[in-house]
Structure 1
Amino acid sequence: MTILRMESISIEFPGVKALDHATFQIETGEVHALLGANGAGKSTLMKVLSGAYSHYTGSISFDGVGVEIRSPKDAQSAGVQIVYQEVDTALISYLSVAENIMLNETVNELGKKQLVSWSSIHEKAKAILDKMNIRISSKTLVNELTLAEKQMVLIARAVRSNCQFLILDEPTAPLSQTETNELFRIVAELKASGVGIIFISHRLPEIFQICDGITVMRNGQFVQRLRTSDVTQNEVIEKMLGKKLEDQYPGRFEVSGERILEVRGLSDKQKVHDVHFHVHAGEILGIAGLVGAGKTELCKALFGNSTNLSGDVLLKGKKLKLKAPHQAVQKGLALVPEERRKEGVLVTESVTTNLTAASLSSFTRLFGFLNVRAERKKSVEMIRSLGIKTPSELALVEHLSGGNQQKIAIGKWLIADADVYMFDEPTKGVDVGAKKDIFLLIQELAKRGKAIIYASSELAELVGVTNRVYVMYDGKMVKEVQTAETNEEELLYFSTGGN
């Protein structure tokens, strides 16, 4: 057994103290959860451990012996591997599964100017895939894989590289229940073989299902280390927030507005098949469905981001013919996408740039010059009203937590003032405190007479925040229910093909 310990870890970024004398401990053969609200410092602490950040203070040791980890190579040499939530950034899409799994060894061989035995590369990759019972061909190109399969490839690469401790950052966020069960099987096997697993997730039921222990962080500091069997989910949430848990969902209110959006027989010839639904002004309409049901594709189709569409989309009784997202914006449609870092925000730009990106014409002077003062003033107003935690309006979005990034993704559309707001998995990777803020934001939009489409696989959220729900299964709408007359069990039944 090996004990890994991080002590008094501190790190700062411009205007932000991300970690403040944080501590963490895990041993091999243990699955340990690292929990905290967005901005608590979880991912930052793990980036220190995996060598992504070098300018920290504090110490890291293995069985009491100090190690210097200042680069990813240092971490790998120490037996630490990480699988980030954004799996695409860690894989080379145009290479095969085998080439990605064996990437480090292949690069080392090429660096020594040796000839590479491609047959040996595939044999070794196949051996590790077979050992982990991952049913993917080593010759398949990575760009042909699902998100779940890409994640499995990254785990296989990590295990191949003398891994003592494996960090999984929000690993189940993009996965279906079947894929999640497969991931948990692999985690259990790694644990049995002596690997220590650090598990970061906002899905507490999963934490209590698979983890032996929990470390809670808040505001960049260590709060408490717990055994999962000795604590309840509500107690963990209260430790994360630093206060008593309040009711998560705002109360529902009656809807009496006109029909704003109507969809008749919409198909994209791939994932969306003959979809019919409507939504009223002031209504929060839920689209329920498991991962892969077609919710994301439906939202993108309505936002003008699909080809080969057939069927009719009517906004206030008038047919829309949208061939690009900018046309959807002009007509009064807004989309907060599932993949916020890839599609929802500009991570390398400032908070101000992001908040005003969808409404630049409002800040443009004669001859096309941007009124920077007005732009910054509006962004400061929005930061205050949304409770966005940022050092300033000029801070880069990439340095903010996931919950604050999501508030920015929503905030830019509040400035643009659309008629129909579509939210695709709006609480993905968001902590319980920020979730409530988002629910209140969405309800406030509905009170202002906006039509809301809330697409989610989180059935408890749909029951908690919507007025009416359509259930989507295999690209089709299979059931319509009034939220007050349904429950999670019924929604799950229809989401899995029940009729």
Structure 2
Amino acid sequence: MARSQVISPQTMQAVRNSGAVAQSEYLLEVKDVRKEFPGVVALDNVELRLRRGTVHALMGENGAGKSTLMKILAGIYTPDSGIFRLRGQEIRLKNPLDALENGIAMIHQELNLMAPMTVSENIWIGREPSGRFGLIDHAEMNRRTEALFERLGIEIDPEIRVGKLSVANRQMVEIAKAVSFDSDVLIMDEPTSALTDKEVSHLFRIIRSLKADGKGIIYITHKMNELFEIADEVSVFRDGKYIATHNSVDVTRDDIIRMMVGREITQMFPKEAATIGDIVLSVRDLTLNGIFKDVSFDLRAGEVLGFAGLVGSGRSNVAETIFGVTPANAGTIELFGKQVVVSSPSVAMRHGMAFLTEDRKETGCFLLLDIQENAQMAVLQQRYVRFGFVQQEKLRKEADEMANRLRVRTPDMAEPIINLSGGNQQKVLICRWLMTNPRILILDEPTRGIDVGAKAEIHRLISQLAGQGVAIIMISSEMPEVLGMSDRVVVLHEGRVTGILDRAEADQVKIMELASR
């Protein structure tokens, strides 16, 4: 039965309790869905079936169409064609509110919280409880948030402004907000990208509780270990096409990779031996009041120096201070044997430094600009202006070559970057900094939200750059990445360096011991 309007909450509950639900094997069915964007077929007649009380993992490389389908289910995009059935009833979703009122909620890969507002205000926006005279009852709203957090085991002050939270805590607020709608279908797009192992375990406890309540969860992840721990079924998309669905117990990691990329990834961490040269960066007793203290280390040409530590350890803050985003209160920085004061990113760039930030949406991408404009942002004034004129052809050629090198999937460089998948946005940001020909490259979570094939490509690129003498600092929350790519590992705990390990002696146990001191 086709619909053109939203089902009321009363009707929705009646449908949930009706015989139609019992007769339908699937909570949600998607069939023959097609979606085109200018120059790109994002979805080519794909399908998906979700059972009640299960977790269904959706796997695929960046650009495979996963997020596009989820945005259709969340009412953000309108499909060109296709059939959608929810609880046995055919539906058509016109907008996000339509999806929510039908019982479909989504946790986006790119967080959509409003930084100036409090945690409670973000969770209940549009649904605020009212008191006398129709005014918002903030006390009641905070009470509801506290009850929700107690249910989910989240320890965050409901009255704190979201802008003051870490990325990990913002992710937990986003998760709580989605759960607050009490939806039957919950879509999670890379929900653990900013979470520590402890926080991931916490999230999985929440998911298992939701499963026990009969909810259906669509789970998008690039982390294979998560798939096998939490998913009941897995579907694979490739290049906008549906490939297959299997019970998770019936497939191996290699099976899924072959379906995802159409080839075998024989070496996830292609670390190549590079000649380690002279010290290019020397940090001594670097301090940022209240964040980190007395941080000291050296970085050599051709070295990949991994930074490990739990969320809140200060890893990203140290990187930002070295690059001049938040200048230090004390300590010294030497670049190529000379002490310098890095008072701003422009000063850092003049000394040959580049910095890929952790949060591509907030501090990386200019979402309203196209790919070309995003890629050229760091080099325009440095290398492509002559006699007051921009050398557009040279700039365009080098940007195209860099995008092809990193396999950015786009119809052309004039495509707005907001239309790209999260992983392809990340590749554009890497292009931006590689175009500066850096001597020191700081990478903060370089493969967050990147699919398994692209991860191997970026790891190979890191090795190649190190082989060319580029000194690299790589911050990562993924232990296999730190161990697989680093020549040495700097471990931080609560703003202090607790150890520096050589590649030969570093292992997961030693790093975790140092990270949790």
Name the TM tier (shorter chain): over 0.9
Q: Write the deviation string for residues 365-392 of structure 1: whole angstroms up to 9, x where unpaired.
A: 31x2222222212212222333322211
Q: Write the deviation string for residues 192-247 of structure 1: whole angstroms up to 9, x where unpaired.
A: 11111111111111121111111111111111111111122222122111122311
- 1:337 alignment partner in structure 2: 357
Q: Write the deviation string for residues 25-78 of structure 1: whole angstroms up to 9, x where unpaired.
A: 112211111111111111111000000102432121124321011210111121
Q: Secondary structure at the match of 1:428?
A: coil
- 1:80 alignment partner in structure 2: 104
Alpha-carbon distance, 1:308 to partner: 4.2
- Take 2:209 and 2:378, find their aligned partners in 1: how far apart are those partners? 47
- 1:158 alignment partner in structure 2: 178
Alpha-carbon distance, 1:409 to partner: 1.4
Alpha-carbon distance, 1:144 to partner: 4.0
Q: Secondary structure at the match of 2:297?
A: strand
Check if 1:48 corresponds to 2:68: no
Alpha-carbon distance, 1:119 to partner: 4.3
Indicate which of 23, 28, 31 corresponds to 1:4: 28
- 1:100 alignment partner in structure 2: 122
Give the partner amino acid of 1:495.
A
9-18 or 44-53, larger mean C-alpha shift: 9-18
Check if 1:27 corresponds to 2:48: no
Check if 1:364 corresponds to 2:388: no
- Take 1:465 and 1:325, find their aligned partners in 2: how far apart are those partners? 26
Give the partner amino acid of 1:31.
V
- Take 1:432 and 1:93, find their aligned partners in 2: how far apart are those partners? 31
Alpha-carbon distance, 1:95 to partner: 3.5
Indicate which of 135, 158, 163 corresponds to 1:143: 163
Contact 2:27 2:216 in 1 (8 A): no
Check if 1:316 corresponds to 2:336: yes
Distance 1:201 1:121, change over 3 A: same
- Take 1:191 and 1:80, find their aligned partners in 2: how far apart are those partners? 15
Give the partner amino acid of 1:277.
F
Distance 1:261 1:94, change over 3 A: closer
Alpha-carbon distance, 1:351 to partner: 2.0
Contact 1:467 1:483 in 2 (8 A): yes
Alpha-carbon distance, 1:122 to partner: 3.8
Q: Secondary structure at the match of 2:414?
A: coil
Indicate which of 238, 241, 245 corresponds to 2:258: 238
Q: Write the deviation string for residues 78-106 of structure 1: whole angstroms up to 9, x where unpaired.
A: 1000111232x2x3334333333332323
Give the partner amino acid of 1:318.
K
24-33 or 466-475, larger mean C-alpha shift: 466-475
Contact 1:48 1:56 in 2 (8 A): no
Unaligned runs of 5+ in 2: 1-20
- Take 2:126 and 2:215, find their aligned partners in 1: how far apart are those partners? 20
Give the partner amino acid of 2:37.
F
Compute the TM-score of the two structures, normalised by the length of structure 2: 0.89
- Take 2:427 and 2:140, find their aligned partners in 1: how far apart are those partners? 48
Indicate which of 163, 168, 178 corresponds to 2:198: 178
Contact 2:402 2:431 in 1 (8 A): yes
Distance 1:100 1:408, change over 3 A: closer
- Take 1:383 and 1:153, find their aligned partners in 2: how far apart are those partners? 34
Distance 1:146 1:409, change over 3 A: closer
Give the partner amino acid of 1:186.
I
Alpha-carbon distance, 1:189 to partner: 1.2
Alpha-carbon distance, 1:412 to partner: 1.8
Alpha-carbon distance, 1:114 to partner: 4.2
Length, aligned pairs only: 491
- 1:58 alignment partner in structure 2: 82
Q: Secondary structure at the match of 1:11?
A: strand
Contact 1:459 1:492 in 2 (8 A): no
- Take 1:164 and 1:479, find their aligned partners in 2: how far apart are those partners? 47
Give the partner amino acid of 1:345.
C
- Take 1:297 and 1:190, find their aligned partners in 2: how far apart are those partners? 35
Q: Secondary structure at the match of 2:292?
A: coil
Q: Which runs of 4+ in 1 moved over 6 A?
A: none
- 1:307 alignment partner in structure 2: 327
Matches within 5 A, 1:154-303: 154-303=174-323
Q: Secondary structure at the match of 2:514?
A: helix
Give the partner amino acid of 2:44.
D
Q: Secondary structure at the match of 1:291?
A: coil
Q: Write the deviation string for residues 157-207 of structure 1: whole angstroms up to 9, x where unpaired.
A: 333334111111111111122222221221111111111111111111112
Q: Secondary structure at the match of 2:193?
A: coil
Question: What percent identity do the matched residue pairs reach?
Answer: 36
Give the partner amino acid of 2:416.
L
Distance 1:460 1:68, change over 3 A: same
Give the partner amino acid of 2:201.
N
- Take 1:235 and 1:163, find their aligned partners in 2: how far apart are those partners? 32
Give the partner amino acid of 1:462.
V
Distance 1:496 1:255, change over 3 A: farther
Unaligned runs of 5+ in 1: none
293-302 or 382-391, larger mean C-alpha shift: 382-391
Distance 1:150 1:457, change over 3 A: closer
Check if 1:450 corresponds to 2:470: yes
- Take 2:179 and 2:162, find their aligned partners in 1: how far apart are those partners? 18
Q: Secondary structure at the match of 2:447?
A: coil
Alpha-carbon distance, 1:337 to partner: 1.1
Q: Secondary structure at the match of 2:126?
A: helix
Matches within 5 A, 1:453-472: 453-472=473-492
Q: Write the deviation string for residues 444-474 of structure 1: whole angstroms up to 9, x where unpaired.
A: 2112211111121222112222222222222
Contact 1:176 1:292 in 2 (8 A): no
